[in-house]
Amino acid sequence: MRPLLAILSLVASCICSAADLTPGVSIFGRSSFIEYIPGDLPLIISAPHGGRLKPADMPDRTNGVVDIDANTQELARTIASVIHEQTGRHIHLVICSLHRSKLDANRDLPEAAQNSPLAEHAWTEHHDFIDQACAAAVKQFGVAFLIDLHGHGHAEARIELGYLHNALELADCDEALNESTYANAGSLRWIAERSPLSYTALLRGPQSFGALLELEGFPATPSPRIPVPTEPFFRGGYTIQRHCSAERQVAGLQIEANRPRLRDTAENRLQFSHALVKVLRTYFPIHLGIRLDPPKPVLEAQ
């Protein structure tokens, strides 16, 4: 590890002690490039590509995608706000405020930071905060559910759900998809190992994430209506691959949200957030055995 990065990592380790964590209260990494809002629910949302900061002392990335996923940071915050409004509780939220031309936190370190020590440190903070959020959720609930939130510009206006399977794999027959090889490689492995449902049912059955989104009026794939996505399709990236682990009791998916009627305006972001929270409040009891409800009031002794 480079000397500067080692020093910065030591500083980061002091940023976020357990005593510092208050649900709903932001903690910032160095220069406020990464923000972590701790929660008291088993849901973590990360938004790696919605940042706008372009610090002059951080060089531009010279290869890879450098475009922002417009309004995904705002969408993540709106979802968190709606959940708090409905439950009185907080999700864990991790936001990268750096523009993607400076850091791509959803790539492995060499491509993400491209030899910039400052970008490398921000990348480390981003994933350390996700690790910390997942660990806190697992400690409290026995499981964590991670959503890595993105935006796509594909011609088809649909929500793409990335479980670490590409379109060709999802086109395989149900018999093949239900073999343990697929489930073991996917981001829902923790759920699949405990669910009475087949793996294809988890991916695109009537109680799947995609099915529930479609019931709320938002086209999604994979789902019963669109079981096999057409190309181009985002399968889920580095963040989901790194953090969703049955051994660590973390499941999740990547959401690629279309822009029209979903993340283009504040009104549409709010409408989608209400729909997504409704989906989550149905999905969690079915697949995780956890209700996203307000805590029960403590009755005073008579």
Domain of 7, CATH number, reads 3.40.630.40
Cα 129-133-136 angle, rounded to 5 deg: 135
Q: Name the token pair of 110.
A: 């060499």
CB neighbour list of residue 46: distance below 8 Å, 6 or more residues apart: 76, 93, 94, 95, 96, 105, 126, 130, 146, 147, 148, 149, 239
Q: How far apart are CA 76 and CA 186, in angstroms?
A: 23
Q: Name the token pair of 255.
A: 């959401």
Per-residue pLDDT at 298:
59
- The b/e string for 241-270 (b: 16+ C-beta within 10 A; e otherwise) is bbbbbbeebbbbbbbbbbbeebbeeeebbe
Residue among 23, 29, 71 nearest 47 (CA):
71
What are the pLDDT digits (tens) for 106-153? 999 999 999 999 999 999 999 999 999 999 999 999 999 999 999 999
Count of domains observed in the chain = 1
Residue 214: enclosing H or E segment and its boundaries?
Answer: helix 209-215
Can you give the residue range of the structural domain that contains 139? 3-287
Q: How far apart are CA 9 and CA 79, in angstroms?
A: 30
Q: How far apart are CA 270 and CA 170, in angstroms?
A: 31
Q: How far apart are CA 283 and CA 237, in angstroms?
A: 22
Distances (CA, A) of 95 to 114, 173, 233, 270: 20, 38, 24, 18
The answer to whether residue 124 is domain-embedded is yes
The answer to whether residue 293 is domain-embedded is no
Q: For residue 173, what pLDDT band results from cuts at 50, 70 and 90? A: very high
The count of residues in the chain is: 302
What are the pLDDT digits (tens) for 81-107? 999 999 999 999 999 999 999 999 999
222: preceding bond cis by omega (within 30 degrees): yes
Q: How far apart are CA 227 and CA 224, in angstroms?
A: 5
Mean pLDDT to the nearest integer, 201-214: 98
Residue among 117, 87, 90, 92 nearest 102 (CA):
117
What are the pLDDT digits (tens) for 25-52? 999 999 999 999 999 999 999 999 999 9
Distances (CA, A) of 239 to 49, 165, 243: 12, 14, 6
Helix (H, G, I), strand (E, B) or coil at 150: strand
Q: For residue 218, what pLDDT band results from cuts at 50, 70 and 90? A: very high
Residue 135: enclosing H or E segment and its boundaries?
Answer: helix 117-141
The answer to whether residue 300 is domain-embedded is no
The answer to whether residue 298 is domain-embedded is no
pLDDT of 8 above 50: no
pLDDT of 301 above 60: no
Residue among 47, 230, 41, 9 nearest 128 (CA):
9
Mean pLDDT to the nearest integer, 201-230: 98
Per-residue pLDDT at 19:
56
Whether the CA torsion 252, 256, 259, 264 is positive or negative: it is positive
CA 2 to chain CA centroid, Å, is 30
Residue among 149, 159, 162 nearest 261 (CA):
159
The answer to whether residue 96 is domain-embedded is yes
Residue written as token pair 């990236």? 237
Strands of the sheet containing 159-162, edge to edge, are 27-28, 34-37, 92-96, 43-47, 144-151, 250-257, 159-162, 220-221
Q: For residue 74, what pLDDT band results from cuts at 50, 70 and 90? A: very high
The answer to whether residue 302 is domain-embedded is no
How many C-beta neighbours within 10 Å does residue 300 have?
5
- Tell me the whole-structure pTM to 2 decimals: 0.93
